[in-house]
């Protein structure tokens, strides 16, 4: 008898557990809820989401993953994605989904908030914030005067064993695309092969690792986007920062501006709410959240540059207006496939 | 005859009853069993079908272009040398440690037996994070060999402990009485008896290494699996990832073939006595101190370093880079993690029973192949399996169940089935088929006899199978991120979220709780082993 009672109790517990598992979670179908596939850093996204929910009463459920995994997940889901909005660090994943016809058109008033050169040329996604590529170096291992000033010099023999890279990161492709635009296919391939040899001991999976390794003195210098260094500094404290930043020469192809953006899935059943979310991202309020790191009790450690609604950053970074990146358009950056093909040929991917 | 490694362990282990020697009845073809097992094998083949279809979608020339290029050579070399080195080290360390706690009078061996299993419960990305943040040289090939060996040697340790415990001491006694030296006896008899378990453990180690991602990503070591992740998100990402995964499948076929050839010769089943008898433990004498030092060193390296680093990060503190607004509570994450692990563990243990019975009691060439095919899935990266399930549920299943708990649990079930199968097979073989027949002759129905006799005798092995799957689920990350219900966090996804935001001190408590949750079954397992040992001693 005791055994039977035990078995029944166990079965009941199992069923209860199963029911409670399926109760929480599950796709959100309520009219006032949107699903966000978030590939942007949480430091940037979370304060925006909270403020949006408070302002509109629309609830946002979030799936976080790397933007490239999410892009493939959405592509695999095809026209039946449960996502309403896709928010990314970089433009190529959005361009890639746009090319597959999976994004719907963004409201023109939203597009108008951001300078046109930071939006999708077709108008299927809107630019939200920007960063710039540069070098992080460890002065104990390499002096500022020994650093290259042109990205071309990364191929020099003298940097063998010193250079750290994250070639798989979506932040590195735009540099390759810029180089390709400046010098053409053959020269880019030669350059990439030399870089591969120089960086072979320090190829990492992401920029957080690159900046961390340089800061710890495990690599002399690396190519990153500026905000990774500011975040590291905020995280470990200025006393533990043993690295510095250095810009490439103005207009050099290594000096590229990367744009973070957001788009709405064509399959979304919450188009109106999703449009409101995009409008909020580029509104004055949204942009001020991005441009005000460490303010108030909600620490947004984004360190990205606001680019819309006339807002400028309050972080102690070089002012946005003084940046002199290589002149390449979003359309020219494309979905990154040419850069990827070359990176593969060079053995970096 | 090349039976699977674990069924040999099983033969070595179980045959404490003479009836085991009686071959199972072959008269009737077990059609029901074959049908059920075939259905399970078909479920496990779903990801493989996806791989083939997707990589063809890219066009044969694209696929060939991805596979036949210089980088593939480098990846192949990296993958092979890592697999060989780590598998070898795990075989030595796992077998050595198992022998020390099982066959010698090592002080505190019951406690060591538990402590030596727990490293399996620490996520590989936490181990590598702990090491690489403490010592700068822990990266690349060297670092990966070190970290992976310390993370997965329990996969050899566990089955070898079980096998040594149930092996027939008589053979060693006979060898010694014939004047064979102690060392030769150890090599020829003791290791010979444990060979199946060692090989089975090595097989799991090799397959798990092929699919490993998090650790290598963190240590900057490039294998096929890290390359698969690098390709995701690119315009031809999925087809390329699938093509590279097919290479992994090909390598795992080689591993399976090699393991089958290496197994298989010699007689290791216990022949005579009906009464279980335990070997008097070998007195270590002057070797006690070095042995203690070795075991302590292993526990410090495998368990102390990652746990210590995690605690250090919590104590050191820092600035939170993410507030709690998008995070779930620790309790919520722990509850979901444990529940997913529990259901996946139960699912896999149940599914493994028919396949194991078929393999152990009704072995024949075709059925053997069916059983072996289920191991392939272990070498496929979790992300690929998750994308395959995404594809089929969304494109053909009207999204029913997509991103809900049941599908996630099925995904775990597919990914970790081989781990359950290994344990269940050994356990089923422990329960002689003859006893079922006795029960049936006494008027029990076939299923009743099976569940009352075989399943009861096999319970410990079923428990071990459940624990292994539970452990793996608790630490799984990449497939979880794709299929977890939107808004739900597991301990692993929440750890990843903080860690990828660079907020290590916020991530660290989740790692500790993950270790605690995952260690629970390890402790249960350890206690169970001790109980049987006491009962027998």
pLDDT digits (tens, 9 = 90+) for B501-537: 777 778 888 888 988 887 787 677 666 655 554 444 3
Tell me the backbone φ, ψ of residue A221, rounded to 5 degrees. Answer: -155, 160
- Lookup result for tokens 């290589």: A326
Domains of chain A (ranges, CATH numbers): 33-129+259-317 (3.40.190.10), 131-256+334-345 (3.40.190.10)
**Whether residue B255 has pLDDT greater than 80:** yes
Helix axes B491-500, B330-361, angle to 10 degrees: 120
**CB-based contact A204 B322, cutoff 8 Å:** no
* Least CB–CB distance from A43: residue in B232, B399, B501: B501
Contacts of B495 in chain A (CB under 8 A): none
**B340, B399, B502 ranked by CB distance to A208: nearest:** B502
Put simply, whether A252 touches B (Cβ < 8 Å) is: no
User: Do A338 and A180 touch, CB atoms closer than 8 A?
Assistant: yes
Q: Does residue B283 form part of some domain?
A: no
**Which candidate, B265, B306, B257, places its Cα nearest to that of B122?**
B306
Over range A68-83, report the average pLDDT: 91
Residue of B nearest to A205 (CA): B217
The tens digit of pLDDT for each residue in B482-497 reads 999 998 999 999 988 8
- Centre a 10 Å sphere on the Cβ of residue A7 and count the other Cβ atoms it contains: 10
Q: How confident is the model at residue A118 (pLDDT cuts 50, 70, 90)?
A: very high
Distances (CA, A) of B407 to A22, A78, B34, B340, B377: 11, 19, 25, 11, 17
**pLDDT tens-digit readout, B470-484:** 988 998 999 999 999
Please report whether residue B18 resides in a domain.
no
Q: Which two tokens stand for residue B196?
A: 């199946």
Smallest Cβ–Cβ distance between A340 and the set B234, B320, B339 belongs to: B234
CB distance B123 to B234 below 8 Å: no
pLDDT of residue B351: 94
- In this structure, what token pair is assigned to residue A279? 């409008």
Distance to chain A for B473, nearest Cα, Å: 16
Q: Using CA atoms, how far apart are residues B483 and B348, in angstroms rounded to an integer?
A: 18
Residues B197 and B118 both lie in one domain: yes
Say if B537 falls within a structural domain.
Answer: no
Provide the pLDDT for residue A31: 67
Among A43, A76, A234, beta carbon nearest to B390: A76
Q: Identify whether B291 is part of a domain.
A: no
- Residue whose structure tokens are 């319970």: B459
Q: How much is the average pLDDT of B122-135?
A: 78
DSSP-assigned letters across all residues of A146-201: GS-SSGGGGGSGGGTTTEEB-TTSTTTHHHHHHHHHHH-HHHHHHHHHHHHHHHGG
Average pLDDT over residues A332-342: 86
Q: Which residue has the higher pLDDT, A137 or B108?
A: A137
Provide mean pLDDT across the span B424-443.
Answer: 77
Pick B318's closest partner by Cβ from A64, A168, A235: A235
Q: Are residues B110 and B258 in the same domain?
A: yes
Domain-ending residue, one of B254, B269, B284:
B269
Among chain A residues, the shortest Cα distance to B238 is held by A72
Mean pLDDT of chain B: 80
Burial class (CB in 10 A: 0-12, 13-18, 19+), A285: middle
Residue located via tokens 């058109």: A105
Q: Which residue in the set A26, A217, A235 is minimally distant from B321, CB to CB?
A: A235
What residues contact A298, with CB distance under 8 A and at least 6 apart?
A47, A50, B323, B325
d(CA A96, CA A333): 11
B275: pLDDT confidence band, cut at 50, 70 and 90? very low
The pLDDT of residue B374 is above 60:
yes
> B385 and B513 share a domain?
yes
What's the average model confidence in pLDDT over B100-105? Answer: 87
The question of ipTM being above 0.95 is answered as: no
Owning domain of residue B449: 24-48+323-531
pLDDT of residue B279: 66
Q: How many CB atoms lie within 10 A of CB A3?
A: 7
- Identify whether the C-beta of residue B365 lies closer than 8 Å to the C-beta of residue B353: no
* Whether residue B222 is found in the same domain as residue B361: no
Query: Which of A150-154, A252-256, B3-7, B512-516 is least confident?
Result: B3-7
In a domain, B482, yes or no: yes
Question: Same domain for B369 and B452?
Answer: yes
Contacts of residue B442, Cβ cutoff 8 Å, sequence gap at least 6: none
Whether residue B43 is predicted with pLDDT greater than 80 in this model: the reply is yes
Per DSSP, chain A holds a count of helices (H) and strands (E) of 13, 10
Q: What is the pLDDT of residue B443?
A: 78
Q: Tell which of B269, B285, B300 closes a domain.
A: B269
d(C-alpha B288, C-alpha B281), whole Å: 13
| CA B216 to chain centroid | 18
The answer to whether residue A27 scores a pLDDT higher than 90 is no
- The reported pLDDT for the residue numbered A79 is 85
The pLDDT value recorded for residue B235 is 67
Contact flag A68-B502 (C-beta cutoff 8 Å): no
> What's the pLDDT at B455?
78
Which residues in chain A have Cβ-Cβ distances shorter than 8 Å to B482? 65, 69, 73
pLDDT for position A179: 96
Q: Locate B467 and state its tokens.
A: 């624990």
Given a contact cutoff of 8 angstroms between Cβ atoms, the answer to whether B327 and B488 are in contact is no
Hey, what are B90's tokens? Answer: 């795990």
What CA–CA distance (Å, rounded) separates B314 from B526?
A: 29
Q: Which of A41-55, A152-166, B17-31, B107-121 has the highest mean pLDDT?
A: A152-166
* pLDDT at residue B17 is higher than 50: no
User: Does residue B165 belong to any structural domain of this protein?
Assistant: yes
Same domain, B38 and B95: no
In 3-state terms chain B splits into helix, strand, coil percentages (rounded to 5) of: 80, 0, 20
Mean pLDDT value of segment A81-94 = 93
**Alpha carbon distance B352, B350 (integer Å):** 5
On whether the CB atoms of residues B223 and B248 are closer than 8 A, the answer is no
Residues 6+ apart with CB under 8 A from B226: A205, B213, B216, B217
- Cβ neighbours of residue A150 under 8 Å, at least 6 residues apart? A248, A249, A252, A254
**Highest mean pLDDT of the ranges A191-195, B63-67, B220-224:** A191-195
Mean pLDDT to the nearest integer, A12-20: 53
Q: By three-state DSSP, how is residue A264 classified? A: strand
Residue finishing a domain among B269, B286, B308:
B269
Taking 50 as the threshold, does the pLDDT of residue B271 lie above it?
Answer: no
Predicted confidence at residue A21, as pLDDT, reads 57
DSSP B322-363: S-GGG---HHHHHHHHHHHHHHHHHHHHHHHHHHHHHHHHS-
pLDDT at A90 exceeding the cut of 80: yes
Asked if B335 and B221 sit in the same domain, the reply is no
In terms of domains, do B64 and B42 share one? Answer: no
Pure H helices in B212-304: 214-219, 224-231, 237-262, 288-299
* CA distance readout (Å), B338 to A125, B477, B484: 39, 14, 14
Distance in angstroms (rounded) separating the CA atoms of residues B62 and B67? 9
Q: What is the pLDDT of residue B471?
A: 87
Do B101 and B213 belong together in one domain?
yes
CATH number at residue B417: 1.10.3720.10
Minimal-distance CA residue of chain A relative to B386: A73
SS3 A225: strand
pLDDT > 60? residue B51: yes
- Alpha-carbon distances of A289 from A16, A308, B296, rounded to whole Å: 42, 12, 51
Question: Which of A7, A10, A77, A335 has the highest number of chain B CBs within 10 A, making it the mutation to test binding with B?
Answer: A77
Work out how many domains chain B is built from and give that number.
Answer: 2
User: Which tokens in the block code for residue B301?
Assistant: 């390296």
The CA-to-CA distance between both ends of chain A, in Å, stands at 64
A87 or B269: which leads in pLDDT? A87
Give counts: helices (H), strands (E), chain B: 26, 0
Instruction: Using pLDDT thresholds of 50, 70 and 90, give the confidence band for residue B12.
Output: very low
For B442-477, letters b (16+ CB in 10 Å) and e give eebeeeebbeebbeebbebbbbbbbbbbbbbbbbbb
Cβ contact A288:A56 at 8 Å: no
Cβ-defined contact of A25 to B136 (cutoff 8 Å): no
State the Cα–Cα distance between residues A292 and B483, nearest whole angstrom.
Answer: 34
Give the CA-trace dihedral at B66, B71, B77, B83, to 10 degrees.
Answer: -60
Indicate if B259 and B340 belong to the same structural domain: no
Mean predicted confidence (pLDDT) in B302-327: 74
Whether the pLDDT of residue B208 is over 80: the answer is yes
User: Could you tell me the pLDDT band of residue A197, with boundaries at 50, 70 and 90?
Assistant: very high
Digit-coded pLDDT (tens) for A276-311: 999 999 999 999 999 887 644 345 677 899 999 989
Q: Find the closest chain B residue to A83 by CA distance.
A: B486
| Mean pLDDT confidence for B210-236 | 79
Residues of A in contact with B406 (CB under 8 A): 22
Which residues in chain A have their CB less than 8 angstroms from residue B233's CB?
66-72, 93, 96, 170
Looking at residue B104, the DSSP 8-state letter turns out to be B
Whether residue B506 sits in one domain with residue B400 = yes
For residue B6, give the nearest of B467, B459, B422, B351 by alpha carbon: B422
Distance CA B333, CA B429 (A): 38
Q: Give the mean model confidence (pLDDT) for residues B110-137.
A: 80
Name the phi and psi angles at A130, rounded to 5: -145, 155
> Tens of pLDDT along B69-92?
777 888 889 989 999 999 999 999
Answer whether residue B6 is part of any domain.
no
Range in A80-84, B180-184, B451-455 with the lowest mean pLDDT: B451-455
> What secondary structure does DSSP assign to A180-192, as a single string?
HHHH-HHHHHHHH
**Average pLDDT rounded to a whole number, residues B440-465:** 79
Does the distance separating the beta carbons of A64 and B497 come in below 8 Å? yes
Q: Looking at chain A from residue 65 to 124, which residues have their Cβ under 8 Å from any Cβ of chain B?
A: 65-73, 75-78, 80-82, 93, 96, 99
- What stretches of A35-126 show up as alpha helix (H) in DSSP? 42-56, 67-77, 91-99, 108-113
The per-residue pLDDT of chain A, averaged, comes to 87
| Predicted pLDDT of residue A124 | 96
Same domain, B395 and B523: yes
Q: How confident is the model at residue B319 (pLDDT cuts 50, 70, 90)?
A: low
User: B299 lies in a domain?
Assistant: no
Residue carrying the six token digits 């027939």:
B168
């Amino acid at each position: 008898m005791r055994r039977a009672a035990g078995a029944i109790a166990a079965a009941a517990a199992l069923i209860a557990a199963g029911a409670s598992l399926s109760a929480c979670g599950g796709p959100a179908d309520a009219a006032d809820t949107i699903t966000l596939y978030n590939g942007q850093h949480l430091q940037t996204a979370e304060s925006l989401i909270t403020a949006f929910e408070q302002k509109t009463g629309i609830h946002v459920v979030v799936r976080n993953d790397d933007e490239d995994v999410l892009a493939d997940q959405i592509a695999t889901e095809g026209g039946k994605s449960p996502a309403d909005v896709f928010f990314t660090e970089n433009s190529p994943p959005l361009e890639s989904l746009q090319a597959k016809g999976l994004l719907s058109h963004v409201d023109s008033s939203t597009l108008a908030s951001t300078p046109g050169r930071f939006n999708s040329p077709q108008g299927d996604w809107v630019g939200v914030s920007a960063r710039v590529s540069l070098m992080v170096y460890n002065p104990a291992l390499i002096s500022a005067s020994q650093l290259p000033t042109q990205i071309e010099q990364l191929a020099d023999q003298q940097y063998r064993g010193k250079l750290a890279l994250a070639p798989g990161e979506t932040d590195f492709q735009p540099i390759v695309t810029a180089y390709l635009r400046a010098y053409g296919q053959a020269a880019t391939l030669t350059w990439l092969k030399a870089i591969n040899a120089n960086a072979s001991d320090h190829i990492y999976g992401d920029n957080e690792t690159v900046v961390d390794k340089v800061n710890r003195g495990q690599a002399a210098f690396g190519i990153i986007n500026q905000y990774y260094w500011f975040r590291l500094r905020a995280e470990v404290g200025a006393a533990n920062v043993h690295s510095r930043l250095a810009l490439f020469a103005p207009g050099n192809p290594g000096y590229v501006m990367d744009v973070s953006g957001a788009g709405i899935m064509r399959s979304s059943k919450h188009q109106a709410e999703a449009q409101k979310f995009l409008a909020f991202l580029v509104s004055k309020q949204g942009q001020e959240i991005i441009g005000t790191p460490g303010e108030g009790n909600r620490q947004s450690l984004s360190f990205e540059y606001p680019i819309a609604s006339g807002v400028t950053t309050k972080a102690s970074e070089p002012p946005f207006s003084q940046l002199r990146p290589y002149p390449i358009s979003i359309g020219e950056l494309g979905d990154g496939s040419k850069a990827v093909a070359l990176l593969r040929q060079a053995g970096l991917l | 005859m090349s039976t699977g490694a674990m069924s040999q362990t099983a033969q070595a282990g179980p045959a404490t009853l003479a009836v085991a020697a009686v071959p199972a009845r072959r008269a009737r073809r077990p059609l029901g069993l074959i049908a059920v097992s075939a259905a399970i094998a078909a479920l496990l083949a779903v990801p493989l079908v996806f791989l083939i279809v997707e990589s063809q979608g890219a066009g044969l020339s694209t696929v060939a272009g991805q596979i036949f290029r210089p980088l593939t050579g480098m990846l192949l070399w990296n993958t092979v040398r890592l697999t060989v080195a780590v598998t070898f080290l795990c075989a030595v360390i796992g077998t050595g440690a198992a022998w020390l706690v099982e066959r010698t009078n090592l002080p505190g061996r019951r406690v060591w037996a538990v402590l030596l299993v727990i490293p399996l419960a620490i996520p590989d990305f936490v181990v590598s994070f702990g090491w690489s943040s403490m010592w700068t040289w822990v990266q690349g090939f060297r670092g990966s060999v070190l970290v992976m060996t310390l993370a997965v040697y329990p996969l050899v340790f566990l089955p070898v402990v079980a096998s040594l415990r149930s092996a027939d001491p008589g053979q060693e006694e006979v060898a010694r009485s014939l004047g064979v030296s102690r060392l030769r006896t150890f090599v020829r008899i003791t290791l010979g008896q444990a060979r199946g378990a060692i090989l089975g453990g090595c097989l799991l180690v090799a397959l798990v290494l092929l699919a490993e991602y998090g650790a290598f990503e963190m240590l900057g070591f490039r294998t096929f699996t890290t390359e698969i992740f690098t390709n995701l998100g690119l315009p031809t990402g999925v087809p390329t990832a699938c093509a590279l995964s097919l290479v992994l499948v090909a390598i795992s076929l080689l591993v399976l073939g090699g393991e089958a050839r290496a197994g298989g010769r010699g007689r290791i089943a216990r022949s005579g006595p009906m009464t279980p008898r335990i070997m008097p433990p070998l007195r270590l004498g002057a070797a006690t101190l070095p042995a203690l030092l070795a075991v302590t060193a292993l526990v410090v390296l495998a368990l102390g370093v990652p746990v210590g680093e995690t605690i250090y990060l919590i104590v050191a503190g820092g600035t939170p880079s993410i507030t709690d607004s998008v995070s779930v509570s620790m309790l919520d994450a722990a509850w979901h993690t444990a529940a997913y692990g529990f259901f996946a563990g139960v699912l896999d243990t149940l599914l493994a029973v028919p396949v194991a019975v078929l393999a152990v009691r009704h072995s024949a060439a075709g059925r053997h192949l069916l059983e072996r095919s289920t191991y392939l899935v272990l070498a496929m990266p979790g992300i690929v399996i998750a994308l395959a399930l995404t594809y089929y549920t969304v494109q053909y299943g009207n999204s029913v169940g997509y991103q809900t708990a049941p599908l996630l649990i099925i995904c775990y079930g597919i990914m970790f089935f081989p781990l359950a199968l290994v344990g269940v097979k050994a356990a089923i073989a422990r329960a002689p088929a003859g006893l079922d027949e006795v029960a049936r002759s006494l008027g029990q129905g076939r299923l009743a006899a099976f569940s009352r006799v075989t399943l009861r005798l096999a319970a410990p092995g079923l428990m071990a199978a459940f624990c292994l799957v539970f452990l793996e689920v608790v630490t799984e990350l990449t497939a979880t991120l794709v299929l977890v219900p939107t808004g739900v966090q597991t301990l692993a996804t929440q750890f990843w979220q903080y860690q990828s935001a660079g907020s290590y001190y916020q991530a660290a408590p989740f790692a500790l709780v993950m270790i605690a949750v995952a260690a629970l079954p390890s402790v249960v397992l350890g206690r169970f082993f001790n109980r049987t040992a006491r009962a027998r001693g």
